[in-house]
Structures are given as structure tokens and as C-alpha cells.
Structure 1
């Protein structure tokens, strides 16, 4: 999106609308899930991004608030069959009020140049989600991709009818995890040609980086529960008092 004003001039509440607060660590207890989800709600984040098993925990918490649900699908590897991905998306969206579903593309196939497969794989999920009004974000795990492959993955997501292209899962191992650099975000924006929204995720940990991406025109960012107060410059308790 093209922001109406500079990010540095925005209120905490306006900045929080760019954030999907990530509450995704597999080792989290129920208490930790509730704690970090509530912090995201108190900040006024766009969504809380959770694993599917957390839906019964977090769905009642966001009800009646300005914060929605974002659920990940086939996360973090994206290696289920196309049919299984679509079945998972149908399962989640048919039973819960989910604003966004973040699916992991088969980025091994993307690196292989099998773009028809990648597009079909994404489209099956898009078709399942859009029946229920759920937006689809496509993660292409950019740390493993060349600039050309990032562009190809973005174009696949556009062709499949997805709503967002997204950089990273935040669970990369084996390579340096740089995530949503300005170069990666710019590459997705350029390849998307305004036909798809852009979500940056991975290594968004400083306020300076966060504000810079907003000023570039990014639409959404995945921010870890520890980093949200850092990028917003305010604690959840302070944000709650201002709401």
C-alpha cells in the first residue's frame, strides 16, 4: 500500500495494523500462547498468526476485537501434496472464522523451475480459502531463492489468485536467515506489479527496519512476539492504556 503519511508520523495503533504477531513456536505451552496472543490483541495488531492446533485457544480471544486470526498451513516446509494442502485449508476455513491463511509454497519445485506445479499447488489452496472469504498469503522462503526465483514465485502466486506474497517462515535452518530485507521486499513488489499485496516476514526486529518497510509501501509484516514492542516503541500495557 502507499501510506498516506510517513511511518514515523503514525500512531502506535496505525503501525500495529501492519503486524501479524507471530505466536508459532511449537514448544509453546497453552499459557504462553494465551499470553503472547493477548499482547498482540492489546497492541491492536491486524492478526495473531498461529498454528492450527492453537485455533481453539486463540479464536475466542480475538472475538469482538479489531484483531483477526491468521493460521499457517503446511508450515514450515510446504511439502504436503496439493490435495492434502487443499484439504487442510478446507478443514480450517470451514470451521473457524479465519481472516488470513499463510500457506508455504513448494519452494523446492520453485527452485527447480517447475512453475506450473507451483501455481497449481497454490491455486488449490486459494480456491478452498476464497469460498469462505479467507485471504491467502503465499510464503516462498526467500532465503533459499535467487532474485529471479523470488520474481518467479511472486508471479506464480499472482497467477494462482493469491492475495499476498510473503517472504519467509522464520524457521530457516542451514543458510543465513536474512528474511525480509529491503531488497527482497522490493523484488516481490516489482514482480507483483501491484497485482498482489506484499508481506515481509523474517528478521524484522528493529524499529528502523519496520518503519523503512512501511515507507516502501509494504502491506503487512510478520513480527515475532518479542519484537512487536520493539518495533512499535511501546509495551502492550502502555498500548492498552492508550486504546
Structure 2
């Protein structure tokens, strides 16, 4: 009985040894293929208006970092970047050999507003982030008293094509007896737009075509219907 038990024990030990050997062989093969110890030779960053250096610093990844710092950690790194940079909405990372490609989607700059002496940048949802001053890449909001209204206008502006969005220099809240939602948009091309908050996103899509049909700068009125006339008419 003891001899049989001894034989079984030896067999079990031998089997375990083979399993261990197989495990280490597979692990070694994975490491050989994965090569986590290799440094990254190229790190390319596509981040729109956000400086490449900022993205690399906040991720802690740059040329010379190692593959093991990225491989299988893409989701973690994306969350890390979004938590550190309020301008980032989405992150894609592609690791191939010793090359890493990072694509960062930036939250749309819907403009700037000054509240209680401080400047804030508005994202596509109208959320505010403190900045020193406007950078010229979005409209300045003036005469707004309601945060809710600012957010609504920011969402409308963010939905516009980039070309139109960046052509808006200033947005003034200017209600009158005929329109309590009236907005006045001062365009960088020299025109002035009268619009309503509720239809801003829909009607501003036609602005480029209307502006191109004008012989000289003037007013584009989008409050009721859409028409234009030159200054002084």
C-alpha cells in the first residue's frame, strides 16, 4: 500500500513538474513575443490644440519609455489622461513594435465667458474651466446673466462646423421687445448676425452661404426666416 502511494506521489510530482515546465515555456514565449523590456523609439501624438508635451507629461509616456508601461494598460492610461486634462474627451492608443501612436480628441471650445472677474473656457456642454484669458479660438460671451442660458448657447455653438464656430468673435445676449431670446453675433469677417437662442444651431449652418452671397458686409438676420442687408440700409 505504501509502495503504491509512493508511486502515485512520484507520478503526481512528475505531472506537476511537466505542467510547471509547460507554464514557464508558454510564459517565456509570450515574453519573447511581447518584449516588454524594449524602449519606445517613436511616440507620435495627435492632440489638436493641446501641446504634445502636455499630453506626454500627463500620461508619463514619451520616447524612451518601455513597452510594458503601455501594453495592456491603454484603458488605464486613457482614464488617467482624462482625469488630469479637462480638455480631453477621448483617447486612442496604438502600440506596434516600438512605435506608439496617441490620438487625443479634444473637447470642443465653445467660447469664453468672464464671471466675477475671472475668465472661463466653455466646453461642448457649457462646463467651465478657468483660464487666464481667451486664446482667440472661440467667441466671447457678453451680457449673459443666466448660467443655464450660457450652457444652452455653448451647446448650440459646439454643434456648428469648426469654420463657422471660429468665425464668431463675440456673442451678446440682447433681448428686446420682439425677441426675448435675441443674440447678436459679431463675426470676424465683418458681418453681424441677429439670431434666436432656440434656433441658433439650426440656422447658423446656413451662414456661410448667405455671407458669400452678400456684396458687402452687413447684417444677417436669422430671427424669423433668414435675410441680409448691408450696413446703413
* Structure that is richer in helix per residue: 1
Q: Same fold (TM over 0.5)?
A: no
Greater share of residues in strand = 2
- TM (norm. structure 1) is 0.22
TM-score (norm: length of structure 2) = 0.22
Determine which structure has greater relative contact order: mean sequence separation of CA pairs < 8 Å that are 6+ residues apart, divided by chain length.
1
Bigger Cα Rg: 2
